[in-house]
Amino acid sequence: MMKFLLIGMVSLVIGACATHESRPMPWADVAKDGKETSVSPSKTTSKTTSTSSMTTVKTSISVGPNDLRTLEKMDKALEGFVLRNETKIFTSLCKEKRFDCYVGDVLYPKTKKKVSRKVPPYASGSKMGLQGENRIQARYDFYP
């Protein structure tokens, strides 16, 4: 009895899927290549949109293995600065022009000037901790 019931349900599902009418989805009106298509029961029309008015500027950021090693050093130096109060390595890395370092929302080291950049940072990091009674938040932005 269970076999017949199971076979009947499977045949109904297969039959329903076979007779399903295929309709275009509403978000599929614009094709990926810039052509807009409209489908009607009797004919298909297409018109192309001009992309000459659109200009795209791509900025590629190339990061090499040396940059990745420097980024790992900065992560370790940031952790050492916040947790163990080791300032030497963190300060030397923050003096580089590729890093913008902040301690308590103030540029670090104090003698460094803010550099204006047109590209977003490749990587950034932040660490918070206590040094005695003082709360420290140190962060950096890395520009290759």
Question: From its phi and psi, is residue 85 left (phi > 0), alpha (psi between -120 and 50) or beta?
Answer: left
Instruction: Give the residue numbers spanning the domain of 123.
Output: 65-141
Question: Considering just the CA atoms, what is the radius of gyration of the chain in Å?
Answer: 30
State the total domains in the chain.
Answer: 1
Distance separating alpha carbons of residues 133 and 144, to the nearest angstrom: 35
**Quick check: is 18 in a domain?**
no
- Mean pLDDT for the stretch of residues 115-140: 85
**Quick check: is 2 in a domain?**
no
**Quick check: is 120 in a domain?**
yes
Q: Can you list the positions of beta strands (E) in the chain?
A: 35-39, 44-48, 99-103, 106-108, 123-131, 134-142
Weakest mean pLDDT among 10-19, 108-117, 130-139: 10-19
What is the per-residue pLDDT for 88?
Answer: 93
**Quick check: is 58 in a domain?**
no
**Quick check: is 34 in a domain?**
no
| pLDDT tens for each residue of 69-120 | 988 998 999 899 888 888 899 899 888 888 888 888 888 888 888 888 888 8
**Quick check: is 16 in a domain?**
no
What is the per-residue pLDDT for 106?
Answer: 85
Distance separating alpha carbons of residues 37 and 27, to the nearest angstrom: 12
| pLDDT tens for each residue of 20-56 | 566 665 555 555 445 555 554 555 555 555 444 555 5
